[in-house]
A and B are shown apart, each in its own frame.
Chain A
Amino acid sequence: MSNSVIEVPPKGGFSFDLCKRNELLAKKGVNPPSFRKTGTTIVGLIFQDGVILGADTRATEGPIVCDKNCEKIHYMAPNIYCCGAGTAADTEAVTDMVSSQLQLHRYHTGRESRVVTALTLLKRHLFNYQGYVSAALVLGGVDVSGPHLHTIYPHGSTDTLPFATMGSGSLAAMAVFESKYKEGLTRNEGIELVTEAICSGIFNDLGSGSNVDVCVITKGGKEYLRNHLQPNPRTYTSSKGYSFPKKTEVLLTKIIPLKEKVEIIGGGDAMEE
C-alpha cells in the first residue's frame, strides 16, 4: 500500500482549480478582465420557401462600441446558417467547431447536412460546459425534411419555433414579430419583417446598433445580404478637417553618454576554430 497519489491525466474540459483564488482576488478588489460581448439583436423566421435570419452589426465592450460592423451570421453548412449572441469569442469558436464537424460528417455520409444534426452537436457541447460557454444562438436552415428554425441557450436547452429572437434586443424585436408575423409570408414580406425587427432592436436597445445583415435560405440555395440596410450614417463631418501636430511638447533635453564596460581589441577572427 503506497502513500503516493496516482497521477491521473486531465480528462479535458475546464479545470476549476483557480476559482477559489479568483474569489479571494475579487474580494480584494482585483477584478478579472471583462469579456467582449456582442450585446445583440438576432432574429429568425420561417417563410413560404424557407428560412430568413437577421442580425445587427454592433459589438460592445461594456459601454464602448468595439466593432461597428461585425458579422454575426455564421456559416455552418451550405444550407445552414447560425446567428450568435453573447460572448463573441464563444459564438465564433462554437460555430466554427460545429461547422467543421458537419463537413467531416458530410464526407462520411455523402449527404447534405441536416439542421437537427447541427442542433444536437451545438446543444451537447453547450450543456457539457454547463453554461460557461456563453453563446445564445439562432440556428436556421433548409434540408431534405424542410425548413427548420431553432434557438439554443447557453446552458444547452433548445426550442423549435416559427419565429425567434435572441440577445439584449430580443424583446424589442419580438414585439415586432408578435404584432406582424403570419404564416406563409413571401420572400419580400419576410425580408421586410426581419429588417423591421432588427431595426427595432437597433434603435431601442443600446447594446445593438449600426447595420442590418440578412440571410435568406431556401431549397434552391442561400443569399447572404451583408449590410442589407445601413440606417446609421455618421451625422457630421467637419468640412475643414483637422490637423495633428507631429511632435509632442519637449519639456527637457538631457543626454547621458553610455560608459563602455568592455574594451574592444581590434583585429582577430570572429570565430576561431
Chain B
Amino acid sequence: MTKQQANWSPYDNNGGSCVAIAGADYCVIAADTRMSTGYNILTREYSKICKLADKCVMASSGFQADVKALQKQLAARHLIYQHQHNKQMNCPAMAQLLSNTLYYKRFFPYYSFNVLGGLDNEGKGCVFTYDAVGSYEKVGYSSQGSGSTLIMPFLDNQLKSPSPLLLPVQDAVTPLVEAEAVNLVKTVFASASERDIYTGDKLEIVVVTADGIRREYMELRKD
C-alpha cells in the first residue's frame, strides 16, 4: 500500500536571477525582468526588486505570487514600526524582520529566494542572503534564483570574500568602486542569459547610496 502522492502543487517557479553586491559606501542590487512558467514567457518586463525602506532594497526570485504576498507583509510591518518608533527601519533591522516573517511560515513556506541589500546605520553597504524559510547571513555579495549556480562561482572568483576560517576576521565589503561593481553585474547577467533559459529580456539595476536610490536598465538576450 504505497503512500498517495499529491496530484496538485500550490507552488510554481517563475524563474529569474538576482544579485547583490555591497561596497564601502554603496550597494548594488540587480535582477532580470523575465517572468516565466514552464517553457513559456509570461512577461518580459516584471520587476523583482522592491524598496522596503529608504536605504533597504530586496530582490526576490521564485514564485512571484508568494513574493508579492511577502512584500505586502513586510510593507505593512514596516508601516507599524514607523508609527511606533517615528523613524524608518534600518537595513539590519529589516533583515531580521524578513527572517522572522519567513520562518513564521516554516511549515508552508513562501517559495521566495531573497537577497536584501542596502546601507547600514554607518552608511556602509550590506547584503543579506536568505533561503526559503528564513536562514540568513550578512555577506559581501550574493546571488539567488535559477542563474545563481552560474553567477555565484564567478563572483567568488572576482570578489573573493576572504575565507571566514582565517584570523583576524576580515571585512566582507568589496574594495571595488561603484562603477566597477555595476560593470561586474552587467557582465554576470549577460553570461547567465547565455546559458540559463529562465534568465534574460532586461536587467534592472538598483544602486543605493547616501544620496538616494538610482535605477538603471540594460537589454539582455530575448531568446
Contacts and interface: CB of A to CB of B under 8 A. Distances in A.
Nearest to B186: A236
Interface stretch (A6-14, A57-65, A81-89): A57-65
B12 to A, nearest CB: 14
B196 A64 contact: yes
Contact of B190 (A60, A203, A237, A240): A237
A205 B222 contact: no
Nearest to B187: A238
B146 interface: yes
Given A39-B39, A209-B223, A64 B194 contact: no
Interface residues of B, number: 31
A204 B41 contact: yes
A25 interface: no
B39 A207 contact: yes
Interface string A198-223: 00001111111110000000000000
Contacts of B183: 238, 240
A232 B197 contact: no
B194 A68 contact: yes
A58 B223 contact: yes
A232 B41 contact: no
Interface string A227-257: 0000110111110101011000101000000
B169 interface: no
A195 interface: no
A108 to B, nearest CB: 44
Contacts of A240: 183
User: On chain A, which size bracket covers the interface?
Assistant: 20 to 34
A39 B150 CA distance: 20
27 contacts: A60-B197, A63-B146, A63-B196, A64-B197, A65-B194, A65-B196, A203-B223, A204-B40, A205-B40, A206-B39, A209-B223, A231-B223, A232-B222, A234-B194, A234-B221, A235-B218, A235-B220, A236-B189, A238-B186, A238-B187, A240-B183, A242-B158, A242-B187, A244-B157, A251-B163, A251-B165, A251-B166
The winner among B38, B194, B219 for most chain A CB atoms within 10 A is: B194
B171 to A, nearest CB: 17
Contacts of B189: 236
Contacts of B33: none
Question: Chain A's interface: helix, strand, loop or mixed, by majority?
Answer: loop
Interface string B160-200: 10010110000000000000000110110110011111100
Contacts, number: 72
A97 to B, nearest CB: 29
Contact of A236 (B146, B160, B218): B218
Given A234-B194, A235-B221, 6 more contacts: A63-B196, A64-B197, A205-B39, A205-B40, A235-B193, A236-B186
B36 interface: yes
B186 A65 contact: no
A37 B184 CA distance: 32
Shortest beta-carbon contacts, A-B, top 7: A209-B223, A236-B190, A206-B197, A206-B39, A238-B187, A202-B223, A65-B195
